């Protein structure tokens, strides 16, 4: 797993400081920096590409509204703030739709965009994706959530703890159980 380097962390910290001063340009820079992560998080949680697009738009707008009207003292990082907004937006989405979509959506295949990958890597990726696509929705929501945040979106344990309101130890236990559950789900196919 690749963790963020100190330069990236510094950049994020600087961006967050500018956002505390309600700098609009900083927010657009934040969009460029986090849109992929937030979209991916939403997509793997709700399993529908179109809905993920709409929800991602809503999340960024809600975040800007929040930044504009609050002093941002309760969030340690911008990333954590975005994920918190994303979580509440997804909960709202579930409430409104009352149905939980799955990733097994043949009408909307997932686009994997990475020109640098070879065909073999692309096939391998699609195969991995296929497995996860089918098995991830079988997990409990909280398991799915920590797996996405930790292993797909590469968040640190501290950040996941802050976002979910759990302790670091709880997150570690949850991750262990989530991985075990996913492995069992895959092996039971």
Partner 1 sequence: MTERELIAKLNNLQNVKPDDSWKTSHREILLAQVQNTSGDYRVTGMENFWLVTRNVFASVPQFAWASMAIVLFLTTGIFFGDRLPVGPNNSLYIARVISEHARLSTMFDGAAKSRLTVQYASGHAREIASTLSDINNVSDQSEVAKLNDSFKTEIAKFKENLPTVKSDDNALVTIADSEVATTGLTVYTPAGEGTETPVASSTPVETKKDAKLILAEAEKLFNAKDYAGALDKLKEADEVIKQ
Binding mask of the shown chain, residues 159 to 188, with x at each position contacting partner 1 by CB under 8 A: --------------------x--xx--xx-
Contacts (Cβ under 8 Å, ≥6 apart) of 55: 42, 46, 86, 89, 90, 93
Which range binds partner 1 by CB under 8 A, 80-88, 91-99, 108-116, 162-170? 108-116
> Among 46, 48, 55, 56, which residue sits at the site for partner 1 (rule: CB under 8 A)?
56
Which range binds partner 1 by CB under 8 A, 75-83, 87-95, 144-152, 163-171? 144-152
Whether the CB-CB separation of 100 and 137 falls below 8 Å is answered with: yes
Euclidean distance between CA atoms 82 and 79, whole angstroms:
5
Q: How far is the CB of 98 from partner 1 (least distance, A)?
A: 26
Does 124 bind partner 1 (CB under 8 A)? Our answer is yes
- Provide the angle, in degrees to the nearest 10, between the axes of the packed helices 6-20 and 78-97: 70
Residue keyed to tokens 């895959």: 186
| Residue 86 burial class via C-beta count within 10 angstroms: exposed 0-12, middle 13-18, buried 19 and up | buried
Does 31 bind partner 1 (CB under 8 A)? Our answer is yes
Which contiguous run of DSSP H or E holds residue 110? none
> Among 75, 132, 143, 173, which residue sits at the site for partner 1 (rule: CB under 8 A)?
132
Does 26 bind partner 1 (CB under 8 A)? Our answer is yes
| Residue 181 burial class via C-beta count within 10 angstroms: exposed 0-12, middle 13-18, buried 19 and up | middle
CA angle 55, 105, 93 (to 5 degrees): 25
Binding mask of the shown chain, residues 72 to 101, with x at each position contacting partner 1 by CB under 8 A: ------------------------------
Site residues for partner 1 per CB under 8 A: 1-2, 6, 9-10, 13-14, 17-18, 21-28, 31-32, 35-36, 39-40, 43-44, 49, 52-53, 56-57, 60-61, 64, 68, 110-114, 117, 124-125, 128-129, 131-132, 147, 151-154, 179, 182-183, 186-187
């Amino acid at each position: 797993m690749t963790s963020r380097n100190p330069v990236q962390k510094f950049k994020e910290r600087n961006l967050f400081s500018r956002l505390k001063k309600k700098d609009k340009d900083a927010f657009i820079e934040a969009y460029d920096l986090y849109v992929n992560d937030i979209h991916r998080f939403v997509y793997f949680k709700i399993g529908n590409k179109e809905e993920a697009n709409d929800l991602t738009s809503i999340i960024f707008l809600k975040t800007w509204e929040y930044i504009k009207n609050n002093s941002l003292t309760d969030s340690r990082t911008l990333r954590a703030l975005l994920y918190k907004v994303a979580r509440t937006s997804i909960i709202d989405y579930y409430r409104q739709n009352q149905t939980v979509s799955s990733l097994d959506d043949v009408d909307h295949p997932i686009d994997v965009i990475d020109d640098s990958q070879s065909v073999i890597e692309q096939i391998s990726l699609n195969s991995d994706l296929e497995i996860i696509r089918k098995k991830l929705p079988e997990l409990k929501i909280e398991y799915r959530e920590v797996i996405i945040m930790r292993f797909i979106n590469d968040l640190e344990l501290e950040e996941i703890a802050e976002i979910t309101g759990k302790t670091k130890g709880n997150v570690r236990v949850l991750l262990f159980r989530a991985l075990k559950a996913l492995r069992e789900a895959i092996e039971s196919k």
